[in-house]
Structure 1
Amino acid sequence: MITQLKRRSNFRNAIIAASCPLLAVLSAFPAQASSHREAPFITTQPKIDGTDVYAFNSYENGRSGYVTLIANYQPLQDPYGAPEFFKMDPNAIYEIHVDNNGDAREDLTFQFKFQNVLRSIALPIGNQNVPIAFPAAGQVNAPNSASLNVNERFTLNLIRGDRRSGQAAAVSRFGTGATTFDKPVDNIGTKTLPDYAAYAAQHIYPVTIPGCSTPGRMFVGQRREGFAVNVGTIFDLLNVPLSVITDPSKINAAPNPLADKNITSLALEIHKTCLLSTRTSDPVIGVWTTASVRQSQLVNPNPPAGYQTTISYGGAYVQVSRLGMPLVNEVVIGLRDKDRFNSSLPQNDGQFAAYVTNPTLPRVVEIALGLTPGSAAPANLPRQDLVTAFLTGIAGVNRPMTVTPSEMMRLNTSIPAVPFPQQNRLGIIGNVLAGGTDNAGYPNGRRPKDDVVDISLVVAMGGLCVANGNNNAFGFGADCNPGKVPLGATAFKLHDAVDQAVQPFLGGFPYLNTPLPGAQ
């Protein structure tokens, strides 16, 4: 289908001049740093704030047939965030879910639980041993170093079926059978951790996955933030020259405001045969991440000595964070329903359907600019193109054989991975524009290089409808055609002046780069 579309239209020749004021505002649409601080409640709980999900066929040499899943948490980490830095919450559970039959219900859940072990290292001061206040008492070069004042550990269970009532079994270290893993301490600085890359690499574990004959790999720890977006400038009333953000040659004109931040990653690499359904031949999986906390919390006015003893927790786990496709809760879901979306399950996404089929975003832009209604907003209502992008997947690319419309990241595991240098930053859309062969990018999963901000701009303003054309190549329906998209091919020129493709990444697992140190 993609090949037919490329024959039918050469979009590079279809791009026409844009109205600068209009495009300037349009380029502000998704600039919320993916899912960083996207809903009212989660801003109060940064340790369980899911920020980005990546799901892609591994492109590291020698890893053909493997799928990489990454869930990022704890946004906007300053490298110098001493002395506590950014430990994970031991009273929460973090989960990566996989739907492998299209019914919008998890079939596999990878559930992480953390434990912070306090050593309370003490020094002899006079006639007393007094606990130190620092995160380490010397250099750290290996897992579970005796110099660490707090050692972070975690377990991982694979749950088949319902995430709360299904069959659970522990993921273990390949070769040893150990079921508890050490998490690397955050990058305190170069004196404490003189070679952080080598230290962190010792925490890449080969793992045995229950019910899977092929070992996988796992890494959990701090990484350099890989997401790029011109977030500060956008929200300072578009404080950037219009000539920049409407000129495709200036995609990298502005520095990435997130370039000096770190993030915490939960990364798995699993052979695709261990993720797919054994009952069907469907190669498409759906992926999303959630975090949950205990239902009740009691604050102790006189907490005992120890570590994180101020609050006592009880009751069932309640989901408070959810993320699949980037930018959905930021720019699609209405403000009053953002917390509700974070607590909801994919099988119940029908309650949010109007936000997708009848989006407010294009009309809000027209109101802000004083434009005549319909002069910029696509008129193909209900927006079947957005239903396809966000809720079902694209037919012939990443739509399951049978599908319940629901929001999650969908990946076709049968589409070959593309080496990093040849990846198109605009994913499938960029592949069509360039006449290339890269069908392995967003919205068919998401790779670190994929510029989901710019891709989402194209989709929001009807770019997929333009690609669909009058012959209904994407199967959006008769109302999705270029005549009902006022901006037409100009949508393909939109960008936020920050280039995702030039961000530094590793060539292999866990792909996201070494975190920035707190001090050089």
Structure 2
Amino acid sequence: MLRSITARHGLGAGAAAAVLTVAALAGPGTGSGHAGSHVDAPTAILNPDVNAADLYAFTSPDKPDTVTLAVTYNPVTLPNTGGLFPPALFGEDTRYDLDIDQDGDARPDLTYRWTFTTEDHRIGGVAQVKGRVTSLDDADLLLRQRYRLEELRPGRDAKVLVDDKTAAPTHSGHLTMPDYAALRRQATYALPDGGSTYAGQASDPFFIDVRMFGLLKLGVELPAPINPLVFSNVNVMALQLPKKQLALKGDAHRNPVFGVWATASRKSLNVSGGKPKWVQMSRVGQSFFNEGLAPDNLLGPAGLIGIPGGIADQFNASDPAHDQTWPTMRTMVRKPAGPSLVNLFHAYAVPPPKEPREDMWQVFMRGVGKGNGPVKGDLNAHVLNQDVNPDAVRDAEMMRLNMSTPVTDRPRLAGWLDGDPQGVPNGRRLTDDPTLAFSRIVMGEPAGKGHPELFRFSLAKGPVPAPESHFPYVALPRALG
């Protein structure tokens, strides 16, 4: 099934696998690496505490009148024990935002913002504990972070939802934190208008088969599936919110669709004087979008993670409101490189779909609904909201969720492509395989038959360990010792 890369580039499939694995784990050896949806742009990788890894949005399976939103940062943090690695912290002088677009104009109608401060009583700046930690206010916990969560709406004063709350710490090992589940429960707080919030560490729920990652990046199926993330942790901020709070005009029945993206901005000195400015460092909406489509982010001799200041970095600093008119965005979505690479390196013909790819533009930039493109069906477009002005809707990259889609007890890895409309790209659950869905869409599904046979064999069947059955759903962080 493979055409040898060796004949083309002097690179065997095993070497290609090694290249991709190195790319997946490229990062400082003192505690963090970056992989899959975690490798996007040079600037973000150099700032792991603002490097947005993954965004999730799904109807809460045990509370279907609510939606759970979660975003992860600081990938991939290796399991800790005592003071072996530095703890993974949320950034100070940083704004972590979840932006909600209810009417489809690509501008936030609602923003949830976290800001963190750090209390550091470590001796020598190493071990974060000096004994057994059994609660968040335990004196043996020498390093803790507190945060404020605000709700922001245009033209209104900020509403403080929680203040001076303690985030769950980096898991320092079972000897010093024997019951991390108890710490998580203590770090989960109720919100005044219903719902809950959690900030802390978790096992990284992202999973990937590097074989498929390589297919679109190198044009070749690697000989063995590899998931390099099975031993890593992330920092996560999660919200569980009543659906009416996320819906346009507070009516989730008439207006069930909203869009969401996450950004992290850091306070920067203003060299010309005046107040410091906030500089957006990262942006994440749909999984694998920047990594898979940015033209300077293709693996190759030039490098593994794109060009500093290139398209991947530009995307991280950009605003969805400008996506529709950004020429580079129009090119990279409508003329992706992956299908041509697949065609180039396969012995049998795998013709790429015809360009320009209006089907991809519809799925990733517009959402699917009411005949707004070549993909048929009503899935997750803002125009499905009854109170939306269709003339004001703009094409933009964001994650879109239709809150009216019923929860299924039999989720499929590729979600909608496999007949499960609750799954990716209609939001994203912890059990979805977004790389699989993304790759199949790039290869032509569902507007055409595509080439699903290319992706039929994979050992990546879900996050390990499995998600929990209640908020915040992400599994407890891995630890050593």
Do both proteins adopt the same fold according to a TM-score greater than 0.5, normalized to the shorter chain? yes
Aligned to 1:413: 403
1:261 aligned to which of 204, 215, 232: 232
Inter-CA distance 342–296: structure 2 relative to 1 (3 Å threshold): same
Query: What value does the CA root-mean-square deviation take over the aligned residues?
Result: 3.2
Match of 1:154 in 2: 147
1:425 corresponds in structure 2 to: 413
Aligned residue type for 2:458: A
Tell me the number of residue pairs that the alignment of Structure 1 and Structure 2 aligns. 420
Match of 2:438 in 1: 456
Amino acid at match of 1:191: L
SS of the equivalent of 1:362 reads helix
Q: SS of 1:88's equivalent?
A: coil
Counterpart check, 1:510 vs 2:481: no
Say which of 333, 344, 360 aligns to 2:294. Answer: 333
Match of 2:335 among 358, 370, 380: 358
Q: 1:493 to 1:239 in 2, by over 3 A?
A: closer
Cα distance, 1:371–1:166 mapped onto 2, change above 3 Å: farther
Structure with larger Rg: 1
Corresponding residue to 2:265 among 292, 305, 317: 292
TM-superposed CA distance for 1:119, in Å, is 3.0
| 173, 186, 189: which one aligns with 1:189 | 173
* Superposed displacement of residue 388, structure 1: 1.6
In the other structure, the counterpart of 2:137 is 144
Shift of 1:187: 0.7
Deviation string, structure 1 residues 353-407 (Cα, Å, up to 9, x no partner): 111112222224445x3889x952111x221110121101111110112331100
Q: Which runs of 5+ in 1 are unaligned?
A: 1-18, 122-130, 173-178, 209-213, 245-253, 299-312, 432-437, 467-487
Structure 1: which amino acid aligns with 2:405? I
Q: 1:510 to 1:516 in 2, by over 3 A?
A: same
Which residue identity does 1:362 align to in structure 2? P
Tell me the alpha carbon deviations over residues 266-312 of structure 1, each in whole angstroms, 9 at most, x when there is no partner: 000000101111187321000110000122289xxxxxxxxxxxxxx
Is the Cα contact below 8 Å between 2:350 and 2:451 reproduced in 1? Answer: no
**CA 1:405–1:132: 2 relative to 1, 3 Å:** closer
**Are 1:393 and 2:393 an aligned pair?**
no
Which fold has the larger relative contact order, with Cα–Cα distance below 8 Å and residues 6 or more apart in sequence? 1
Partners of 1:295 and 1:314 within 8 A in 2: no
The answer (yes or no) to whether the contact 2:206–2:463 under 8 Å persists in 1 is no
User: Do the aligned residues in 1 keep the contact of 2:269 with 2:276 (CA within 8 Å)?
Assistant: yes
- Give, as a single letter, the amino acid of the residue that structure 2 aligns with 1:428: W
1:8-63 residue CA offsets vs partner (Å, 9 max, x unmatched): xxxxxxxxxxx544999999999964431311211211110000000001102xx1
For residues 47-58 of structure 1, the aligned pairs below 5 Å read 47-58=49-60
Residues 74 and 263 of structure 1 are in contact (CA less than 8 Å); yes or no, is this contact kept in structure 2? yes
Task: Give the Å deviation of 1:132.
Answer: 7.5
Following superposition of structure 1 onto structure 2, how do residues 464-475 of structure 1 map, counting pairs within 5 Å? 464-466=446-448
Residue 343 (1) aligns with residue 317 (2): yes
Displacement after TM superposition at 1:118 (Å): 2.1
For 1:268-279, list aligned pairs within 5 A. 268-278=239-249
Aligned pairs for 1:472-487 (under 5 A) are none
CA distance 1:288–1:237, shift in 2 (3 Å) = closer
* Structure 2: segments with no counterpart, 5+ residues: 6-12, 25-34, 297-309, 370-377, 384-389
Alignment CA distance shift 1:464-1:233 (3 Å): closer
8 A contact 1:184–1:221 mirrored in 2: yes
User: What per-residue deviation string (whole Å, max 9, x for no partner) do you get for residues 124-165 of structure 1?
Assistant: xxxxxxx6842111111111221111221111111012xxx7
1:157 aligned partner, one-letter code: E
Aligned counterparts of 2:220 and 2:125: Cα–Cα separation in 1: 46
Q: Is residue 454–residue 495 contact of structure 1 (8 Å, CA) maintained in 2?
A: no
Determine what percentage of the aligned residue pairs are the same residue.
Answer: 28
- Secondary structure at 1:170 match in 2: strand
Alpha carbons 1:393, 1:410 under 8 Å: kept? yes
Looking at structure 2, the residues matched to 132 and 463 of structure 1 have their Cα atoms a distance apart, in angstroms, of: 52
State the 1:84 CA deviation.
2.5
User: Quick check: 1:219 aligned with 2:198?
Assistant: yes
Supply the AA of the counterpart residue of 2:257: V
2:74 counterpart SS class? strand
Question: How far is the alpha carbon of 1:339 from its aligned partner?
Answer: 0.8
Distance 1:22 1:325 in 2: 32
